[in-house]
Amino acid sequence: MSVLDDLHARAAAHPSRIVLSEGHDPRIVAAAIQAVASNLASIVLVGPAEAIRAELVAQGGTPSDALKIEDPGTSALTKDVAGAFFELRKHKGVTPEKAAKEARNPLIFAAMLVRLGQADGTVGGAVATTSDTVRAALQVIGKAPDAALVSSLFIMVLPDDHPSGRTAMVFSDCGLVIDPSALELATIAAQSADSYAALLNETPRVAMLSFSTKGSAKHETVNKVSKATDLLRAQRPDLASDGELQFDAAFTPSVGASKAPGSEVAGQANVMIFPNLDAGNIGYKIAQRIGGCAAIGPILQGLARPANDLSRGCTAQDVVNMIAVTALQAENKTT
């Protein structure tokens, strides 16, 4: 079974209700139809009802108990959403009038459905920007009580029969935290290792990446990664982790043996932690566009309940994959 097939099968074993905040987009509609047909999740499409219904009909779908439409402009839920949003944000100066307006914003409406227990998770970002999508999640769903910060990861699914023999890795943070401190980097690494275990059902091996391996170069950014590695090991001695490592030392066994002899991670890492967003974003896109990896993400971690972002260049299959990820996150929140 492929990585994606396994991910879908485990999500389908515990069906969730996932709300999609851009329900009028053809890719979102196609993904919703596929998700329902495969029993991956039940879906709530948020947006203008007439436009969504027309797109559903055009693609051969119909509304049902498993595929619902909620138009924030006319929904019976909008009043409750507005009231709850006012109570949530009044300390920030939000008035009832402002709350009523925000309740009609599909991103806010979808996130509030999750907060109010009407859905288990939400996915957006096919049309909206990452900043708008993440802002709605942070304002409405909020950070988990035990999370130091909210970060993101990508599941990188390698091409079939890759010479390395690997099937998938996690890259983090490639979408959210711009320039993490050493402590934040250690936190991102711990979050990503836990996400790898939960989503891919395998043991994580964490590499703290740098342009240096074990002191081969001297720079304050290298020092940050080395300090982050020490903090991670102190906080999470249960995790296999090492750093600072160059990517080839982390990924290729022969290089790892040469550059970091005796390391339990070098050459075997499956969770790659980048030192900043520049490196992470560039790295995942090179792996995707040149290396042929499928990139699922950015997947958010550290929220109280699941909410995930999409690339505006996503395909319908990308959306289906993200629905599966969000459903698995929802299941993990309840276990």
Q: Which residues pair with 17 in a beta bridge?
A: 42
In 3D, which of 160, 203, 165 has the Cα closest to residue 4?
160
H or E element, residue 33 = helix 26-37
List alpha helices for 141-276, DSSP H: 182-200, 220-235, 247-251, 253-259
Domain residue spans in the chain? Answer: 3-142+303-333, 151-289
Q: Which position has the token pair 């102190």?
A: 234
The Cα 134–Cα 125 span in angstroms is: 9
Q: Do the two domains 3-142+303-333 and 151-289 of this chain adopt the same fold?
A: yes
What's the one-letter identity of residue 40? L
Question: What is the helix, strand, coil percentage profile of the chain, to 5?
Answer: 45, 20, 35
223 burial via Cβ count (<10 Å: 0-12, 13-18, 19+) = middle
Each residue's pLDDT tens digit in the chain (335 positions)?
688 999 999 999 988 999 999 999 999 999 999 999 999 999 999 999 999 999 999 999 989 999 999 999 999 999 999 999 999 999 999 999 999 999 999 999 999 999 999 999 999 999 999 889 999 999 999 999 999 999 999 999 999 989 888 999 999 999 899 999 999 999 999 999 999 999 999 999 999 999 999 989 999 999 999 999 999 999 999 999 999 999 999 999 999 999 999 999 999 999 999 999 999 999 999 999 999 999 998 899 999 999 999 988 889 999 999 999 999 999 887 55
Are the CB atoms for 273 and 188 separated by under 8 Å? yes
What is the assigned CATH class of domain 151-289?
A: alpha beta
Beta bridge partners of 319: none
- Cα–Cα distance measured from residue 25 to residue 238, given in angstroms and rounded to the nearest whole number: 43
Helix (H, G, I), strand (E, B) or coil at 324: helix
| Residue 225 near residue 243, CB atoms below 8 Å | yes
Answering whether pTM is above 0.75, one says yes
HSE toward the beta carbon, residue 150, CA cutoff 13 A: 22
Give the tens place of pLDDT for each residue, 245-302.
999 999 999 999 999 999 999 999 999 999 999 999 999 999 999 999 999 988 999 9
CA separation for the pair 19, 67 (Å, rounded):
10
Strand order in the sheet with 168-172: 240-245, 205-209, 271-273, 168-172, 151-157, 294-301
Strands (E), the chain: 16-20, 41-46, 67-70, 121-124, 151-157, 168-172, 205-209, 240-245, 271-273, 294-301, 307-309
Name residue, tokens 């342009």: 211
- Chain length of the chain: 335
Fold annotation for 3-142+303-333: Rossmann fold (3.40.50)
